Structure 1
Amino acid sequence: MADIPVLCLVPNRGGSMALVFEGRSYKLKHTGKQKKCWRCSKDKKGCKGAVWTDLEVTAVINRKDH
């Protein structure tokens, strides 16, 4: 059986939601018509990591390495 990565939404200190995926935290940056773009929470320190999910945040559509 293959390991299925778990997507977990958690509240952050600002009152919005953060996505935790494979041990890293992501902030919501953009919601489009078919997907959401999440950037690594360390983006201000230069991290380029990103994850794109479906609108219901049930599956990862694409990802960009850190």
Structure 2
Amino acid sequence: RVRKVKRSLRNARKAALKAEEETLELQEKLMATEKRVEHHPNAVMEQEPLIGGHTGTALQKMQL
């Protein structure tokens, strides 16, 4: 019984570490994407101007 608990603890730790790594990777990708959007604000938003007729960032778009 004790062995089982130890094994499941170890597996849980492994899973948590893996999830943490994946989260960090996703955050890095998101930040890279946001930087790209900042550098080329019009490339992403050409087709759909915001209310008022001027373009905004992707983040502002999502909030609408």
Q: TM-score, normalised by structure 1?
A: 0.22
Structure with greater proportional strand content: 1
CA radius of gyration, larger in: 2
Structure with greater proportional helix content: 2
